[in-house]
Amino acid sequence: MTTEKDFLPNREEDYENDTLTNKHLLAEHEYDGIRELDNKMPFWLRWLFYLSILFAIVYLVRFFIFKSEDLYQLAEYNKEVAKAGERPSAAGSETFEIVLLEDDASLASGKETWEKTCAVCHMADGGGLVGPNMTDKYWIHGNTLEDIMNVISNGVIEKGMIPYKDQISAQKRLEVASYILARLQGSTPANPKEPQGDLYE
Ligand code: HEC
C-alpha cells in the first residue's frame, strides 16, 4: 500500500533535479512525460492570497454579522433617494406657505421689523427715501405678496435693496411683507416720494 508519505522526499538527494534548470522537480508529479518544477509561489502572489483572505473575513463580518452596510445596491440606492428627498427640511430651509397675515400680533411684529430694519431707506411711515414709497399703488417689482416676499428675500442688490433671507427669518419676512400690504398701502405719509414703477390697480 502506498501512502502519501511515499511520495514525499525526505532527504536532499531524494529530490530529482531538472536537467535544464537544475531546480527541484515535483516528486511523482508527471503527466505525458511532463514534470513541474517545485517552485515557491512568488512573494506578491502569496500576499495577494493572504490579503484576499483578510478581505473576505472583514467583508463577512461587516456585511453578514454586523450588517453595517447594505448588501444590495438597490437598498443603498433607495436610501440615497430617500435622503435626497428630505434634504431641504433637514438643512433647515423652511417650506413656507406665503399667505397674507392679518392678525394684530403678526402685523405688530412686522411693524417692529419695518421700523428697525427698513425705515432707514423706506421711512417709518413708508413714504420712501432711498427706497421707493410703499404707500402708493406704484411698484417696480409687482404688488403681490409673492413679489414683495421675493424682493425682501433676494433683494435688488444693484439698486441698493438688501437681500434679507439670511438675516431675517421667513416668518418675520412674511410679517413685514404683510405689514406693507395691510398697513402701509393706502396710508398717507408725511413726505411721499414720487411714484416709481408701474401702476397696479
Ligand atoms: C439700504 C436701503 C434699503 C433698506 C435697508 C431696505 N430697502 Fe427695500 N428697497 C431699497 C431700494 C433702493 C429699493 C428699490 C429697488 C429697485 O429700484 O429695484 C427697494 C425696494 C423694495 C421693495 C420693492 C418695491 C417695489 O416698488 O417693487 C420692497 C417690497 C422693499 N424694498 C421692502 C423692504 C423691506 C421689507 C425692508 C426691510 C426688511 C427693506 N426694503 C429695507 C432700499 C432698501
- Could you tell me if 16 and 24 are in contact, meaning their C-beta atoms sit under 8 angstroms apart? yes
% of the chain with per-residue pLDDT over 70: 87
Residue 148 clears pLDDT 90, i.e. is over it: yes
| pLDDT for 23 | 80
State which of 144, 159, 161, 185 you would mutate to test the pocket of ligand 1, scoring each by most atoms of that ligand within 8 A of its C-beta. 161
**Polymer length in residues for the chain:** 201
Residues 65-94 have pLDDT tens digits of 888 888 888 888 888 888 877 655 444 455
Residues 121-143 have pLDDT tens digits of 999 999 999 999 999 999 999 99
| pLDDT for 24 | 81
Task: Find out whether the beta carbon of 161 lies less than 6 Å from any atom of ligand 1.
Answer: yes
| pLDDT for 90 | 41
The amino acid that residue 41 corresponds to is M
Residue 6 clears pLDDT 70, i.e. is over it: no
Residues 89-112 have pLDDT tens digits of 444 455 668 889 999 999 999 999
Q: What per-residue string of b and e applies to 88-115 under the rule 16 or more CB within 10 Å gives b?
A: eeeeeeeeeebeebeeeebbebbbebbe
Residue 187 clears pLDDT 60, i.e. is over it: yes
Nearest CA to ligand 1 atom 2: 121
Residue 40 clears pLDDT 60, i.e. is over it: yes
In the reported structure, the alpha carbon of residue 104 is separated from the centroid of ligand 1 by a whole-number distance in angstroms of 23
| pLDDT for 8 | 56
| pLDDT for 194 | 95
Closest atom of ligand 1 to CA, residue 142 = 27
Q: What per-residue string of b and e applies to 27-60 under the rule 16 or more CB within 10 Å gives b?
A: eeeeeeeeeeebeeeeeeeeeeeeeeeeeeeeee
Mean pLDDT rounded to a whole number for the chain: 86
| pLDDT for 9 | 54
Interatomic CA distance for residues 178 and 95, integer angstroms = 18
Which residue has 522537480 as its cell numbers? 25
Task: Find out whether the beta carbon of 179 lies less than 6 Å from any atom of ligand 1.
Answer: no
Comparing 39-43, 122-126, 131-135, 158-162, the range with the smallest average pLDDT is 39-43
Residue 180 clears pLDDT 60, i.e. is over it: yes
Task: Find out whether the beta carbon of 121 lies less than 6 Å from any atom of ligand 1.
Answer: yes
Interatomic CA distance for residues 24 and 12, integer angstroms = 10
CA 78 vs. chain centroid, Å, equals 16
- Torsion angle of the four alpha carbons 120, 124, 129, 130, in this order, in degrees rounded to the nearest 10: 40
**Residue that wins the pLDDT comparison between 153 and 8:** 153
